[in-house]
Structure formats: structure tokens, C-alpha cells
Amino acid sequence: MKQIQFSLSSNADLNAFDTLVLPVFDKGQTTDLGTDTQLATLTESLFEQGDFLAKPGQTQMVFQPAGVPCRRVLLVGFGDIGKLTVKAYLESLNAAAKALDNSGAEEVLNSLIDVQPAETDQAWSVYQNALAFQRSLYDYEHESRNKKTPKTPKLNGMTFPVEASAENVSQLEQAQASALGMALTQDLANMPSNFCTPTYLAETAQKLGEMHGFDVNILDEAEMTQMGMGAFMAVAQGAHTPPKMICLSYRGAGDEAPIALVGKGVTFDTGGISLKPGESMDEMKYDMGGAATVLGVFEALGRLKPKVNVVGVIPSTENMPAGNATKPGDVVKSLSGQTIEILNTDAEGRLILCDALTYAQQTYQPKKIIDMATLTGACIIALGHQMSAVLGNNQPLVDALLASGLKTYDRFWQMPLSEEYDEQLQSNFADMANIGGRPAGTITAAQFLARYTRDVEWAHLDIAGTAWVSGKNKGATGRPVPAVVDFLMAQAGQ
């Protein structure tokens, strides 16, 4: 994806830009930048004539406006500034990004950072603008789509008319790195599963290691079997594509204990013997959204280089029906030594995650673990597609993730953990069952994982409803890369 050259300048000269992006409010008012020219008269006149009412998300391109050195001015509506919500603000940003993408703008002065909802500040506006405009250049390109005409964005540079303070610079850099990390996550998740295999994910990790200096270690099937990863292998044994345990390590804080990110990497999920319905099964290529998120976060870490240690652990396999596939009622032993009765082979994510969680603790001794997975359809029923679920055994950790979700608008909603839900996992034939029935499916899945994280601060992110969208605009979203990156930056004190 093409990278925009962002800059901050409190005394930017309009003559240096071919395009000005200008916020407009109800009744046609604009900011100080507009009142320094004849634009205020123009915007008020457009409002009075009913040609531009400046509603949130509304845009209008004006060419060669009198008294303005820029060839074009993009007017962006925000409505009543006193009632401006975060959602409405971001709708306006995305509309502006789309309008620029469809124009000839190359060098842009963007004064939308002068506007923000009441509960935010200008540094937040810088972050959201940089994230939105960089993200707008994303275009899925792959050999499987060789007849498509790729995007050729003309936009090269964007300047925000604001002081280059340390906070503004930091937020700008974090936003762009997050957007580029999201692009990698989207590319991996959007890729057909016959291309994006566990081996391909491992090769992607190795390339990231070469590019950014990460330590990368890949475990193969024989190594994992010898170690005793019976839960992971129970899922992998029906697939012809070889499974991988993909491990990355970023060291930015010396000998400190790391934060571990564990991402579910089922590159295609048929459900196994408990076969899924055929309708929309093609979307099960997105069941590696957690793995793609971890790799996208590491892409951002490589660019930002925060003072924190982070490890990524990605268990990756396909889940396929076969003559040797695991059957409902089979019992397996996990790496932790706990046994599991597999009542439903379509509850496979927790099986590969539990061994990955144990391996991460045994190998890296992390101070915190966050796992992320497209784990349960129940999460979509509970929260829809707007927010991811977060559950955990440590409230300060959960609170920190909630805060990062609010800041980035890549939001989470906390759901409970409790011994009462844990009772649903009882088995007559093993230490636990891998499902707890239909009630509270998201919670019982997390309760299962909690049995493997009793001795470490742990949070679980269920991203089943937010990792991709269906329908006409089907595709990966890149979430929750922004929130996880922000969490790690906050942990680093940056």
C-alpha cells in the first residue's frame, strides 16, 4: 500500500498545496483557516442556497475558488459542532478520504484536525485523520485477482496545520503504523485459503523478521506432537496442509518479561466432522483473523519500535473432515496435561489456543497474555458487528484494553467470567468438555481458555463479529490492530 507523507506545520503556506480540506458546520460556518480567505463567504452562501448543508458525512469539491491559491477545496460537513459525536466525526473523515481518493489531489492541507468531539482533543484528531486517510489507500491485490485494475492513488503528501508537538507526532506515527499493520492483516485474511496456508503465514512471519529484526521460530507437526500438543494435533490431523506454530519475538525493553499475543490461525474451518452448513462457508477463510491481527501488530511494532517486549504465538492449521479426523466423543490430552472430551469438532479454535497458551507460558514466561480469535458465533449474536468481546482474569488488564478500544474507536465490550459458567464444561470422561451448550457460548469458550491461564494475567478478545464484513463489501476489516497497538504503546509509556 502506498504510504502518504504526513507532516505537521503550524504555519503552512496555502500556496504549497493543490488541495485544501476544510470543515464546515451547520449554517455554513468554518474554521479560522477558512475565514482568512473568501471561503467563509462561499460556505455560508452555499448553505443559504441549499447547495451544501454541511451534514456529517457530506462532502463537496469546489474548484478554483476565488481568493484561494489551491486548485481545489474539499468541503466536509460536520453539522452542529456542539452535538458532534465520535461516530459522526469518523463518518465525515471516511467520506472526505473517499472524495480525495476519487480526485486528482496530490499535496493536501488538511484542516479537519481543528475539529473534534467534545470528549477528545486535537492529538486524537491527528490520530484519526492519519489513520483514516492512510487506510483509504488500501486495495486488495493478489494473483488470484489478476484482471482487476489496481488502485493508483495520486495522493502523495498531507500536512496538518498544527504544531509538531511530541504528542501530535507520536499519534501521527502510531496511526500510520497501525494503518499499515491493518493492511497486512487485511491482505492475509482476504487471501483465498488455498494460498494463505499455515506455511504461508509462517513465511510471512519470517519476512517480517528479516524486515524488522524479529526473532522467528517455527514449530512443525513432528515437534508439536513430540511436545505433547494433543489438543492442537486433534484439530490438525484431518488436514493435508501441514500445521505450524509460528512464534515471533520483539525486544524493545531489555530483559523485561514480555507481553504475549496469541492469535488463532485456522486458515480454513469446515467444522471438521461437525460440518458447517454450506452457505457462506467461503467466509471461513477469515477464521485466521486472530493470527492475521498478531502479524499486523508486529508490522506496526517494527515501524514504531516501542520500549516493550512482545512475543507472538500463532497456532495455525486447517480444520478438515477426513477419515483420520477427530470424531465427536474423542478424548485428547493437551500440552498442559489436562484432558478434553471433544463434543463438537467445530469448537476447534479453543483446542489450538489452549496448547498455544500453555506453550507461550512455558517458553516465554510472559507477564501478560492476550489471545485474539474469531472464536464464537455467539459473540455476533451478543454484540453484533460493532464491538469485539473482551474477557479476562485481571481487571486492570481488561480496563487498559477497554481504554485503548475507546481511544481508537476499535471498541471492546466486557463480558463476565464466573465459576457458574465453568460448570457447563463438565465431562464424565475427561477433565473438561470443549463446549458448554448454546447458553452463553462466548463466555463458556473463554471459561475453557481460562483453565490454561490461571497463573498469568490474561485477556481474551473474541473478534468473530468485527474481523470481517459480509455482503457486497465483503472483506477483512483489519481490526483489532489499532486497539492492540495502542495498548502496547501505552504499556511502553509512549
* Model pLDDT for residues 401-423, shown as the tens digit of each residue: 999 999 999 999 999 999 999 99
d(CA 206, CA 247): 10
Grid coordinates in use for 174?
502510531
Residue 334 within a domain: yes
Which has the closest alpha carbon to 263: 372, 389, 374?
A: 372
Catalytic residue among 55, 251, 276, 303: 276
H or E element in which residue 289 lies: helix 289-304
Output the domain CATH number for residue 295. 3.40.630.10
Q: In the prediction, which pLDDT does 146 show?
A: 64
The sheet carrying 339-342 orders its strands as 330-333, 339-342, 432-433
> Which stretch of 23-37, 242-256, 388-402, 419-433 has the lowest confidence by average pLDDT?
23-37
Domain span including residue 122: 5-164
Instruction: Determine the average pLDDT of the residues in 94-101.
Output: 96
Residue 361 within a domain: yes
Which has the closest alpha carbon to 108: 86, 130, 123?
A: 130
Q: Indicate the SS3 state at residue 179.
A: helix
Peptide bond preceding 315: is omega within 30 degrees of 0, i.e. cis?
Answer: no
Same domain for 467 and 369, yes or no, is yes
Concerning whether 276 is annotated as a catalytic residue, the answer is: yes
Give the total number of structural domains in the chain: 2
Q: In the prediction, which pLDDT does 331 show?
A: 98
Same domain for 186 and 303, yes or no, is yes
d(CA 156, CA 383): 38
Q: What is the pLDDT of residues 43-66, one digit of tens each?
A: 999 999 999 999 999 999 999 888
Q: How far is CA 245 from CA 194, 248, 258, 363, 450, in A?
A: 19, 10, 18, 13, 21
- Taking 80 as the threshold, does the pLDDT of residue 446 lie above it? yes
Same domain for 153 and 200, yes or no, is no
Same domain for 39 and 68, yes or no, is yes
Same domain for 193 and 157, yes or no, is no
Residue 173 within a domain: no
Concerning whether 251 is annotated as a catalytic residue, the answer is: no
Residue 300 within a domain: yes
Output the domain CATH number for residue 23. 3.40.220.10
pTM: 0.97
Same domain for 203 and 227, yes or no, is yes
Same domain for 318 and 199, yes or no, is yes
Same domain for 152 and 265, yes or no, is no
Instruction: Calculate the average pLDDT of the chain.
Output: 96
Q: What is the pLDDT of residues 124-171, one digit of tens each?
A: 999 999 999 999 999 998 777 666 677 888 999 999 999 999 999 999
Instruction: Determine the average pLDDT of the residues in 79-95.
Output: 97
Catalytic residue among 72, 135, 285, 350: 350
Amino acid identity for residue 99 in this structure: A
- Which residues does the annotation place in the binding site? 264, 269, 287, 346, 348
Q: What is the pLDDT of residues 344-384, one digit of tens each?
A: 999 999 999 999 999 999 999 999 999 999 999 999 999 99
Residue 471 within a domain: yes
- Which residues does the annotation place in the binding site for Mn(2+)? 264, 269, 287, 346, 348
